[in-house]
Amino acid sequence: MKTIKDLDVKGKRVLVRVDFNVPRKGETITDDNRIVSALPTIKYLLEKGAAVILFSHLGKIKHKLSAEEVDVAKKKNNMVSIAKRLGELLGADKVSFSPDSSGPSAQKFVQMLQPGEVLLLQNTRYEKGEEKNDEALSKEWASYADAYVMDAFGSAHRAHASTYGVPAVLKAEGKDVAVGFLVEKEIEALSRCVDVTAENRPYVAILGGFKVSDKIKVIDALLKKCDKILIGGAMAYTFQKALGYEVGVSPVEVDQLDYAKRCFTEANGRIVLPIDSVYTDKFEGWTIKEVSPDANIPVGFEGMDIGPKTRQLFVKELAGAKMVFWNGPMGVFEQADFAEGTKAVAQAIVELPGVFSVIGGGDSAAAAAQFGFKDQFSHVSTGGGASLEMIENDGHLPGIDIIKE
């Protein structure tokens, strides 16, 4: 696979798919980490004399909705605030912004772009054809560039026009396609979690968080690779329920109960579940907060975190691990009352001697940062869904595979 170091970009227009889908409150960017993370690739291309065209999605725009609703979504997810931040980071004189994502006005910005300058196109999802991997749209975007760089790991699991169609068109035309520094680093780290070697064992995966239906499929794949899977967070209740425990009003994925039971049985003791929970009467503003004596949560109550016995159990199960993949917090860590489980696990991971530790999940990364452990992990992936899918698909992601020769 080519990386940007293999490209000759002097005087050329290079189209870079970045992941600028940053968290925002209104117009304000609350965490610009994704923009900052893209800078090495952008700066490298500028230094080598390229004219750099950036494009990314931002938020969600559902084109099935009414024209008014689409307009509202477009306004909310206008890329202009991102362009402003990018200008602050790179120098405002270097950065221009195309308010359109395609068409004559965008083409004009592309034509005016000089080597050493950066152009950010409007949100790719302004286009109906983006998520459909539309051919005409892919060809239009491909026509802007002499080469394409994939540096949006968080979008690599999607075969959209900007992540798949465009490099496919350029490749067919004999033009260069490559991965950027960010994606190169992600592949390097996550490949270790996929192609597991003896020195990476024991290999322990920790799963948690809320998005059960998205994640539960990965368990099959992980069971083939890992020595052990520790399950906490909301996902655990589906397993507990499947095994016949009472879980009260804790979130359960009813249509995954059979799957959970099968996984647990087939895992033959390699799936480790909570043995106690911190439960409450109310998700926010609780009046009762208790620790269950075992894996049962009383009727009417909701599990919010793994309990102290489970913390001890998970720390014990982690001992000696040489590689850890962690996705999903152990509890509702955003509330201090239910953060202990996540904190204990994060701390236990970073204290393992000689461990290769990977976080693949936005909220898990936020939790690790909140507790001050983030910098001590070997790798913090920028793509939660993408990192899970990479493991699930044995190292394959559409947006990466298309770059490969």
The residues annotated as belonging to the active site are 34, 211, 362, 385
Residue 46 contact partner, candidates Mg ion, ligand ADP, none, CB within 5 to 8 A by sort of partner: none
Which residue in 95, 193, 263, 332 binds ligand ADP (CB under 6 A)?
332
- Look up residue 15 and give its amino acid: L
Q: Which of residues 232-291 bind ligand ADP (CB under 6 A)?
A: 233-234, 251
Which range of residues in 142-150, 232-240, 355-363, 394-402 is near Mg ion by CB under 5 A?
A: 355-363
Neighbours of 241 (CB within 10 A): 20
Is 397 a residue that touches ligand ADP (CB under 6 A)? Answer: no
**In this structure, what is the dihedral angle of CA atoms 276, 280, 281, 287, given to the nearest 10 degrees?**
140
Q: How far is the CB of 384 from Mg ion (least distance, A)?
A: 6
Edge-to-edge strands, sheet with 277-280: 289-291, 277-280, 302-306
Is 209 a residue that touches ligand ADP (CB under 6 A)? Answer: yes
**Could you tell me if 159 and 132 are in contact, meaning their C-beta atoms sit under 8 angstroms apart?**
no
Q: How far is the CB of 270 from Mg ion (least distance, A)?
A: 25
Is 327 a residue that touches ligand ADP (CB under 6 A)? Answer: yes
Which residue in 303, 307, 383, 399 binds ligand ADP (CB under 6 A)?
303
Of the pair 167, 361, the CB lying nearest ligand ADP is at 361
Q: How far is the CB of 24 from ligand ADP (least distance, A)?
A: 17
**In this structure, what is the dihedral angle of CA atoms 138, 142, 148, 152, given to the nearest 10 degrees?**
-30
The Cα–Cα gap between 168 and 177 comes to 9
The two counts, helices (H) then strands (E), for the chain are 16, 17
Q: How far is the CB of 342 from ligand ADP (least distance, A)?
A: 8
Residue 259 contact partner, candidates ligand ADP, Mg ion, none, CB within 5 to 8 A by sort of partner: none
Is 307 a residue that touches ligand ADP (CB under 6 A)? Answer: no
Is 363 a residue that touches ligand ADP (CB under 6 A)? Answer: yes
Q: How far is the CB of 303 from ligand ADP (least distance, A)?
A: 5
DSSP structure class, residue 206 = E
Residue 357 contact partner, candidates Mg ion, ligand ADP, none, CB within 5 to 8 A by sort of partner: none
Which residues lie across from 149 on neighbouring strands?
16, 178
Beta strands in 1-121 (DSSP E): 13-17, 24-25, 28-29, 51-55, 95-98, 118-121
Using CB under 6 A as the binding criterion, the count of chain residues that bind ligand ADP stands at: 20
Which residue in 165, 180, 307, 328 binds ligand ADP (CB under 6 A)?
328
Which residue in 99, 334, 347, 370 binds ligand ADP (CB under 6 A)?
334
Is 154 a residue that touches ligand ADP (CB under 6 A)? Answer: no
One character per residue 358-387, x = contact with Mg ion (rule: CB under 5 A):
----xx------------------------
Q: How far is the CB of 186 from Mg ion (least distance, A)?
A: 17
Is 304 a residue that touches ligand ADP (CB under 6 A)? Answer: yes
Is 392 a residue that touches ligand ADP (CB under 6 A)? Answer: no
Write out the two tokens for 321: 């691990």
Residue 383 contact partner, candidates Mg ion, ligand ADP, none, CB within 5 to 8 A by sort of partner: none
| Nearest one of 54, 27, 34 to 42, comparing CA atoms | 54
The Cα–Cα gap between 62 and 235 comes to 28
**Helix/strand/coil for 149:** strand
**H or E element at residue 314:** helix 308-318
Is 160 a residue that touches ligand ADP (CB under 6 A)? Answer: no
Is 384 a residue that touches ligand ADP (CB under 6 A)? Answer: yes
| b (16+ CB within 10 A) / e for 170-181 | bbeeebbbbbbb
Per DSSP, the residues of 239-306 read HHHHTT--BTTS---GGGHHHHHHHHHHHTT-EE--S-EEEES-SSS-S-EEE-SSS-B-TT-EEEEE
Neighbours of 50 (CB within 10 A): 29
Q: How far is the CB of 134 from ligand ADP (least distance, A)?
A: 29
The Cα–Cα gap between 188 and 293 comes to 43
Q: Which of residues 54-93 bind ligand ADP (CB under 6 A)?
A: none
Write out the two tokens for 288: 């009762």
- Look up residue 397 and give its amino acid: L
Dihedral sign from CA coordinates of 267, 157, 41, 175 = positive
Of the pair 167, 384, the CB lying nearest ligand ADP is at 384
Q: How far is the CB of 251 from ligand ADP (least distance, A)?
A: 6
Give contact residues for ligand ADP (rule: CB under 6 A).
208-211, 233-234, 251, 303-304, 327-329, 331-332, 334, 361-364, 384
Give contact residues for Mg ion (rule: CB under 5 A).
362-363
